[in-house]
Amino acid sequence: MIGNIVQLLCEEARWSGRFMILPREVAGMPKEMSKKEALEEIRERLEKCRCCTLCDTARNIVFGEGDPDADIMFIGEAPGAMEDKTGRPFVGPAGRLLTDIIEKGMGLKRSDVYIANIAKCRPPENRDPLPEEIAQCIGFLEEQIEVIRPKVIIALGKIAAQTLLNTDAPITSVRGKFHEYRGIKVMPTFHPSYLLHNPAKKREVWEDIKQVMKLLGMPLPG
C-alpha cells in the first residue's frame, strides 16, 4: 500500500518536475527517533525511490555513511563505478584520496565524519547528474543534513558546491571561503577525483581543510 503511494507520488513529481519526499507520517514512522533511527528511516524510503531514471541503470543506491553525530560532513556529487558496485560512498581511487585527507591530513578516522553525495544513484558513464535528477534527489540529502546537523559541510567539487550554495559560480571562485547552508558553514573545495589528475591542486585543498580544522579548534599538524 505505502509502496503504491510512493510510486504514484514519485511519478507525479517526476512528470511535474517537482521534488517529492514521502513524509514520515505517511510512511507510518514515529516523529521522535534517534539520529541513527532517523537516518535509517530515510534510507528505507530512499531504497524505494524511482523518482528519476538513474535508478534504471544503477546497481545500488549509495545512501552515505559515517557518524550520525559528526561535526564534519563531506558531500560529493554522485556515486562512481566502485560506489555503485559496493553501495558505499567514496571507495574508489578518489575515495582513497579522501580517506587520506581525513585520516593522514586531519588526524581523524573516516568513521568520525559523515560522507554522502548529492545524487544517490550512479549517472551512466560517470557523467554529472542532470539538474532534473538533482532536483528529484536533493531532498534525501537535505533530510540527512537536517538529522546530522554537522558544524561544517565540505562540498567536494562543482556540483556539490553549486547545488548547496544555489549558485552557478565556478568552484574556483567559491572554494577557500566559508559560505552558509541553512545555518551550517560550508567550505567548497576541489573534488578528490580532480586532484587525481591535478595533484598540484592538493595544496589548495589542504589550505581549505586547514581552515575547517581551525574553525573547529582541531590541532593543525606542525
The binding track of 58-87 with respect to ligand SF4, each residue x by CB under 6 A or -, is ---x--------------------------
The correct pick among 38, 39, 52, 205 for binding ligand SF4 (CB under 6 A) is: 52
Residue 118 CB, shortest distance to ligand SF4, in Å, is 9
Q: String of b and e for 108-145 (b: at least 16 CB within 10 Å)?
A: bebebbbbbbbbbbbbeeeeebeeebbbbbbbbbbbbb
Note whether 54 binds ligand SF4 by CB under 6 A: yes
Residue 46 binds ligand SF4 (CB under 6 A): yes
User: Nearest distance from residue 123's CB to ligand SF4, in Å?
Assistant: 8
Residue selected from 6, 21, 29, 51 as contacting ligand SF4 according to rule CB under 6 A: 51
**CB of 137: closest distance to ligand SF4 in angstroms?**
3
Nearer to ligand SF4, 120 or 179 (CB): 120
Q: What does the DSSP assignment read for 152-163?
A: EEEEESHHHHHH
Alpha-carbon distance 73 to 77, whole Å? 13
| C-alpha 171, offset from chain centre | 16
Pairing of the two strands 179-181 and 184-189: antiparallel
Binding to ligand SF4 in span 111-170, by CB under 6 A:
119-121, 133, 136-137
Number of helices (H) and strands (E), helices first, in the chain? 11, 6
CB of 201 to ligand SF4, least distance (A): 28
9 CB neighbour count, 10 Å cutoff: 17
Q: Give the nearest distance from C-beta 39 to ligand SF4 in angstroms.
A: 15
The single residue listed with the C-alpha cell 538529522 is 147
Amino acid present at 103: E
Binding-site residue total for ligand SF4 (CB under 6 A)? 14
Q: Kindly tell me which of 114 and 190 has the beta carbon lying closer to ligand SF4.
A: 114
> Which range, of 31-39, 48-56, 141-149, 204-212, touches ligand SF4 by CB under 6 A?
48-56
Phi, psi of 202 (to 5 degrees): -60, -35
Phi, psi of 150 (to 5 degrees): -70, 165
Which residues contact ligand SF4 by CB under 6 A? 46, 49-52, 54-55, 61, 119-121, 133, 136-137
